[in-house]
Each structure stands twice: as structure tokens, then as C-alpha cells.
Chains A and B, each alone.
Chain A
Amino acid sequence: MQRALEAALSELVFGPELDPADPAATHAFFERHALAHDDRAALEQGELERLLVYRELVRGTLKAALEAAIPRSMARLGPRFDVYFERFVAERGSTSHYLRDVTSEFLDFCATDWRSDPEVPPYLLDLARHEALHIRVAAAAPESRAARPSLELDEVPCFIEALSLSRSAYAVHRLPEALEDRSAPERKDTTLLAYRSPEHEVRYLELTPLAADLLERWLAGAALGAGLTGAARAAGGDVTPALLEATARLLADLSERGVLLGTRHEPAPETSAARQP
């Protein structure tokens, strides 16, 4: 009983809009759901129409969560947002207990189609992910790692959990914050380090290609020295005194910002959801 009613409710809320005054549509709806005769009768006598209010309530909650997280992207999408939002609700929806996860669920759903939709600005996915990054890093799990406050070349650097390396093809982080702004961002491969400061503020650091490569290797579990050697090779060179000096400056900066905690001997497991690009 509950399973059939639940499926019917689910379709009423997430599925195509049902016109309760359309006998063919309601007949087809009931045919899809094997409801008990008296349940069907009660729904036909008015409960179906009343239950449709949950379509609005559910959509209102989900939309409000997205508005809080990616307001500028939604404003730039304009009416196209509603098209994608309806598809998201109908085809995927939210599976997380945590409303704050709806944004990443929505962006994962839209990513492929936005890239090929000529009505969606080419930078829009980058902008939306940049906006969403704020809540993701702000809410990332608390610290759970212990590290020695030392930096040994053969040890694995240990970073805070609340950080994320974000790569984008546009410098969306330089766009004005105003909702009404429609200026296009510069086309520029960009890597941002977003992290939560000890004061719980989300901060951003634009990285050079070398710094981005180094951090990516270290976050993947490379030892300090191995990461440095790998990055140097990837850049087509050796570990030079200049590279060493630049790396030392980077490490000092990260340490001062509270991002780098130290090193530890064993390889670091990749556990943080916030680190996923």
C-alpha cells in the first residue's frame, strides 16, 4: 500500500505536471500506479488536486537552496535556469539528507549539457562552481589529521581538510559580485585554492601553474620532494635553486595562512569531499 502511494506521490511532486481536470491524464496516472480502489477513489474526489501543492513546496525549498548558493549564475541563466531546474527535479533530484548538497547535485546534473547549450554562456559552469565552492569549503568537515610541524622532503605534506583546488577556463573569480552584472570573464586557465581560514572565513588564492601542479601532487599524496621533482619534470626542467626558492616561499605562505599543517611519514589518504575538483 505505502509503496504504491509513495510512488504516486513521488510522480505528482517530481514528475510532469498533472492537470487533475484532465480525465485522460489522471486516468493514465492511476493506470501507472496500482493503487487500491478506495485510495484511487479518494484521490479522484479531490485529494489529488490538494496534494499537488507539494510540487510547489518541494520546488520552492530546492530553488531557495540554489538561490543561496549560486545566485549570480542563476541570474545570468535567466529563464534557462527554470528549464534545467525542472529537468533536474524530474530526472535526478536530491538524494542527500543535507539541503546544502543540492547545489553540487544540480551542477553535476547540468555540467555536460551546459557545455553544449548555446544559450548557456560558456563560462557559466565555471562561475556556478566558483559560487558553490564557498559553501562547500565553508562547511567542509573539521580537521582530523595530526601532523608534525616540520617540513621533511621525504615526508608527505599535511593540509587542512577544508580546502579545494578549483580549475577553470575563465577568470570567473574576478567578476563583479552584483547580481545584475552581465560582463563576461576573461578567458584564462585559472587555478584557485579555496580554503577555510582559522577564523572560519573562506579565502581564495590564485595559483601560478607551478604552484597548482605542486599542490595537486602533494594533495594526491606525494612526498614534498617527490612532488617537487615531478612538477619540475612536468615543466620540462630540473629542480633548480630558483625552483627550490619558489617552493619554499609557497610552503611558507601556505603555512602562514594555516593551510599547511606540517608533514607526516605515512601517505595521506584522500578523504575530503571538499578536495574534489
Chain B
Amino acid sequence: MTERARPHGVGLGLRWEFLEEVVDGPKLDVDFFEVSPENYMRRGGYYPAQLERVRERYPLSCHGLTLSIGASAEPDASYLTELRRELARLGSPWHSDHLCLSSSGSRQFHDLLPLKFARENLERVADRARRVQDALGVPLALENISYYGHPGRRELEEAEFVRGVVERAEIGLVLDVNNAYVNAQNHGGDPRDFIASLPLERVVEIHVAGHYRSPKGLVIDTHGTPVIDPVYELLELTLVKTGPVPVLLERDNDVPPLPELLSEVARLKRVYQRARETRTGYAKSA
């Protein structure tokens, strides 16, 4: 098994648009890169070869898309086997995916659909998450998603549901502060309250991204624009509470030239540092 280099600091989602610059260019001021293993699993050729070279230079964090932890059907055993192999190959110290539904029966949505915030789902998903973690052989973390409608009557608040799943399963939480912001915009509430209600001691990684406001007013988590100021502010508040967990900038659509992304990473690093200092100040004064 490959030695696992732990992501730390501020990372960037690795996208093929700037892969060559990451591999062949000078070492970047990026602390780690995030990859979606589905893009490299069962695959040979250029991209897996380049990823090997990235791995030699930077720690990697693996963030999957198609686990579908909340589906009524059990996860595909062959997918889990392949995923375990890929995680070992890449040396990711943990694996994360989304607290959602991304398939129904044999059909893949290739998108992240919401689960009903219900106790029955909480228990079912938590029990499954424990089994998946065992199957993968690395710690599992689940991310709070952006959702645009709720499938049925809410028995629990979103934060209760997320907290319940990760605590019952004893797994990690990937806290996406942009998703918290987007959900508050679409469904009401204060994202700071949402975040404060989560088990922050379980946060293994924080995600930030940009979003899009549709003409009808719905905010869509596109990962296709720069991070906005309120999300930076939310990130800083969160980091003060969580301490220095890795922060990831995700950009999947309309990917700009790498220097623009690096400029966002630099701003995130300043936020990260400021939050550390604030936290240290709190600690000193406590």
C-alpha cells in the first residue's frame, strides 16, 4: 500500500484543463489536489499516467461522485472493489462522497439528489456508511449537498440529519460551506446556524465553490464561478471553530486559466491563516 500523505492547508480540485501545468510547471502554492476517482478508475492512458506524476509532487484527496450512499439498493460491490484498489493506488488517507442519492436501481443520475431528512434514512444510511468504510479500508467522510427540493415531509432539520448520520456511523464530515450558503438561499435559514449545529469535530475537509443564481431566483451549485464574499466569510467563521482542517477550492465548469484559480487559492490561504490566528487568540485568551 502506498504511504498516505495527508492533505493539509488549501487545495484545489485537479482538472484536466490545467493538468500539464501542475505536472510540468514549477511547484505551485497549492497544498494538495482533489480528484474524483471515478475519472481514473478502470482506465489507462494519459490521465492516470499524469495523475501518478501529480501524486509524486502533492498529497491527494479523493472525493467520489457515484457511491449513492442513500439509494435503496446496496452499493455496487464491484464498484467498491475497484474504488478500494484506486484509493490504495493513489494513497488517499480517506475517501469522501456525498450524503445523497446518485442512482436509482441500476440507473445512474450522474448528479446528486437529496434524501428525505427522516430518521429511517438516517439509520439506514449510517449503518451502510459503516459497512462501506469497512469495504474501502480507509476512513469514509460524507458531504452535505446542495439540494433544490426536498423529497417529502421533513422529519428532521438538515443539520440534524447530517449530524445523525455521521455520528451514528462514526465517520467524517466534509463540510461544504458553499452548499450551506446555497441551501440557506434556497430554503431559508442562516448558514451560520446550520454549520454551528453540525458535529464540527468530525470535519475532515471543508469545500468552497462558486454558484449560479437562475433567473427564477434558484441558486444552483454549479462550481462554475468564483467563490463569493459571503462564502469566504462563512469559511472563516467555520475555520475558527474547526481549527485548521484542509480547505478545497472546487471549480468544475467554465474553468478559468490556472493563475485565476491560484489567486483564489491565495485568498483562501489568507482566510485560513487569519482563522488560525483568531483561533489562537481565542485559545490564548481562554
Q: Please report A residues at the B interface, Cβ cutoff 8 Å.
A: 1-3, 5-10, 13-14, 35-36, 38-39, 41-43, 47-54, 57-58, 61-62, 65, 93-99, 102, 138-143, 161-162, 196, 200
Contact = CB atoms under 8 A, between A and B. Distances in A.
B77 to A, nearest CB: 12
B110 A2 contact: no
Contacts of B151: 5, 8-9, 39, 43, 47, 51
B43 A97 contact: no
B156 interface: no
Contacts of B154: 42
Contacts of A5: 116, 151-152
24 contacts: A13-B109, A13-B113, A35-B152, A38-B152, A38-B153, A39-B151, A42-B152, A47-B150, A47-B151, A50-B150, A53-B218, A54-B109, A61-B110, A97-B108, A99-B110, A138-B46, A139-B43, A140-B44, A140-B45, A141-B42, A143-B44, A162-B44, A162-B45, A200-B45
Contacts of B110: 58, 61-62, 65, 94, 99, 102
B15 interface: no
A43 B45 CA distance: 46
B118 interface: yes
A181 B246 CA distance: 48
B232 interface: no
Interface string B135-179: 000000000000011111110000000000000000000000000
Contacts of A99: 38, 110
B225 interface: no
A10 B71 CA distance: 11
Contact of A14 (B38, B43, B107, B121): B107
Instruction: Give the interface centre of B79, B109, B154 by most chain A CB atoms within 10 Å.
Output: B109
Instruction: Give the interface centre of A6, A50, A142, A143 by most chain B CB atoms within 10 Å.
Output: A6
Closest 3 CB pairs of A and B: A50-B149, A39-B152, A142-B44
Instruction: Give the interface centre of A13, A98, A140 by most chain B CB atoms within 10 Å.
Output: A98
B108 A96 contact: yes
Given A43-B152, A54-B113, A97-B66, A1 B118 contact: yes
Interface in B84-121: 101, 104-111, 113, 115-116, 118, 120-121
